[in-house]
Structure 1
Amino acid sequence: MHDQNKLWRIALYGVLLYAAVYYLLPLYVMVTTSVKSMDEIRAGNLIALPMSITFDAWTKAWATACTGVDCNGLSGYFWNSVKMVIPAVLISTSLGALNGYVLSKWRFKGSELTFALILFGVFIPFQVVLLPMAQTLGWFGLARSVAGLIFVHVVFGIASTTLFFRNYYVGIPDELIKAARLDGAGFWRIFFKVVLPMSTPIVMVVLIWQFTQIWNDFLFGVVFSSGDSQPITVGLNNLANTSTSVKEYNVDMAAAIIAALPTIVVYVLAGKYFVRGLTAGAVKG
């Protein structure tokens, strides 16, 4: 019996190791290619380690690579994404927390219908609302701007953040809220003093979720922005599709890593909090 368990354990670790190698191999190829010269890329093997490491491709991708007719690299696009993602994540998370709090602990007549209508927004295909949203941005004077992208991502993020927070807050005992109300606490005091301190797991889940969704978005970025307001995903697409006399694969790989680096860092540093938040009740309903 002991030998059989040992064999199963070895088989399990073998499968996990194979899966890890399978999923990490593309990242390995991207990283190694980005630090090779073009001469080495042409002469070498795709998965071979670099004979000499150079960061010229990274420098070019960041500062001088052409993205269409503009040859200033991805730096401007990157900072556009930073200026867009931070307020969009914070606003959508805050509104989702308030919505979830109201819909779970301060139920009113029609609250279930309201939640159902908000939840419907999770399942609406983004393509369906491109034209109405473009018209709305035009009315508000936010078309083709970073502020417009923030507005779009907040609107489309509220449905998901409300769902996460509402399902989490349902698990908080109603007795806590009733006891706080008997002690004279009102709506905002209960939220900040009772509910919010218990919300760390779900807050981490929503922050990571929203950051990833907004940073990696391409559709809204390419439709609702132009010129100096375009995010990093649009800049990466422009760089990859810009025709040059020689295709510089090392620059393309460096650019792709630059675009993906913030989400990778977030998951490496805060991934355990994401898992803890989910297991703590973020997917309950």
Structure 2
Amino acid sequence: MSLSRVLIYSLVLLAAVFYLLPLFVMLMTSLKDLEEIRSGTLLSLPQGLNFDAWSKAWGTACTGVDCNGMKGFFWNSVLIVVPAVIISTILGALNGYVLTKWRFRGSNLFFGMLLIGTMIPFQVILLPMARTLGFLGLAGTTSGLIMVHIIYGLAFTTLFFRNYYISIPNELVNAARIDGAGFWLIFFRIVLPISVPIVVVSVIWQFTQIWNDFLFGVVYSSGDAQPITVALNNLVNTSMGVKEYNVDMAAAIIAALPTLLVYIVAGKYFVRGLTAGAVKG
């Protein structure tokens, strides 16, 4: 092994340790009791495996005046993420398909306007979206928050699928048209089956963005309809007596665990999917 390769691996290892250190501290702290936290150091290993903090964070920790833990808010996030990811991915696939294989007059202008949606910061749409949800009677509901995430994520999913589909030869679609296949048959039988890489990209992107979102969750939901990120903020900022750092760390890991698992399991497919449509032909 050459010296340059050793240096590269050493730098990569140092970077990995640097980025994983906070997760290590959180995990170790969540496995200690309060007395051990006070008497030890951040990097010290726990004297034993103590999952009391995890049990309390999940089932009995107080998030404001509610002391039912994180479990209800965790399932709220699941109920928000699953339909929002599925619907925004399907609509993005249809948009990308139309914008590349069934172009209409002004399609490039339409795509350019839609592309602006990827550059709009969250804060800009807070007030108009709040007024829209109020008009529709969806303010403070899970359904309203799902709609917000679908609309905001649609520009990104459309961009992903459009850039991927533009690399698919038009002759493939034209041949299907000659054989009598229509819009939907071509989409479901030809285009969609070869879209697995970019579907994975869209799902990972949307899942991560929606699960980790705090701003939309705290603005457009309330009470028992709030996602886990809002509950985590409420738990950390709720103090009754002694500050329980082990419970806070356990709750933070519970909130982050789904996205960590997604990237561990499917991270390599995310990179492959992004590069699959990078070169036309």
Relative to the length of structure 1, the TM-score reads 0.96
Q: C-alpha distance in 1, partners of 2:41/2:195?
A: 50
Shift of 1:283: 8.8
After superposition, the C-alpha distances for 1:193-245 in whole angstroms (9 at most, x for unaligned) are 11001100000000000000000000000000000100000000000001221
Aligned-pair Cα RMSD in Å:
1.1
What secondary structure sits across from 1:137 in the alignment?
helix
Question: Pairwise mapping of residues 62-77 of structure 1 onto structure 2 (< 5 A)?
Answer: 62-77=58-73
Q: C-alpha distance in 2, partners of 1:165/1:251?
A: 41
Q: C-alpha distance in 1, partners of 2:87/2:278?
A: 19
What secondary structure sits across from 1:253 in the alignment?
helix
Shift of 1:129: 1.3
Identify which of 250, 255, 258 aligns with 1:254.
250
Q: C-alpha distance in 2, partners of 1:101/1:279?
A: 18
Partner of 1:196: 192
Q: C-alpha distance in 2, partners of 1:278/1:155?
A: 22
Is 1:213 aligned to 2:215, yes or no?
no
After superposition, the C-alpha distances for 1:158-197 in whole angstroms (9 at most, x for unaligned) are 0000000000000000010111101110000110111001
Runs of 4+ in 1 over 4 A off after TM superposition: none
Shift of 1:272: 1.6
Check 1:26–1:283 CA distance in 2 against 1; reply closer, same or farther (3 A cut).
farther
Partner of 2:91: 95
Q: C-alpha distance in 1, partners of 2:267/2:201?
A: 9
Q: Work out whether residues 74 and 227 of structure 2, in 8 Å CA contact, stay in contact via their aligned partners in 1.
A: yes
Q: C-alpha distance in 2, partners of 1:248/1:240?
A: 9
Relative to the length of structure 2, the TM-score reads 0.98
Q: Work out whether residues 166 and 277 of structure 2, in 8 Å CA contact, stay in contact via their aligned partners in 1.
A: no
Partner of 1:107: 103
The number of residues matched between the two structures is 280
Check 1:24–1:54 CA distance in 2 against 1; reply closer, same or farther (3 A cut).
same
Aligned AA (2:238): T
Partner of 1:222: 218
Question: Pairwise mapping of residues 1-285 of structure 1 onto structure 2 (< 5 A)?
Answer: 6-281=2-277
What secondary structure sits across from 1:267 in the alignment?
helix
Q: Work out whether residues 164 and 282 of structure 1, in 8 Å CA contact, stay in contact via their aligned partners in 2.
A: no
Aligned AA (1:219): L
Q: C-alpha distance in 2, partners of 1:34/1:276?
A: 35
Q: Work out whether residues 62 and 74 of structure 1, in 8 Å CA contact, stay in contact via their aligned partners in 2.
A: yes
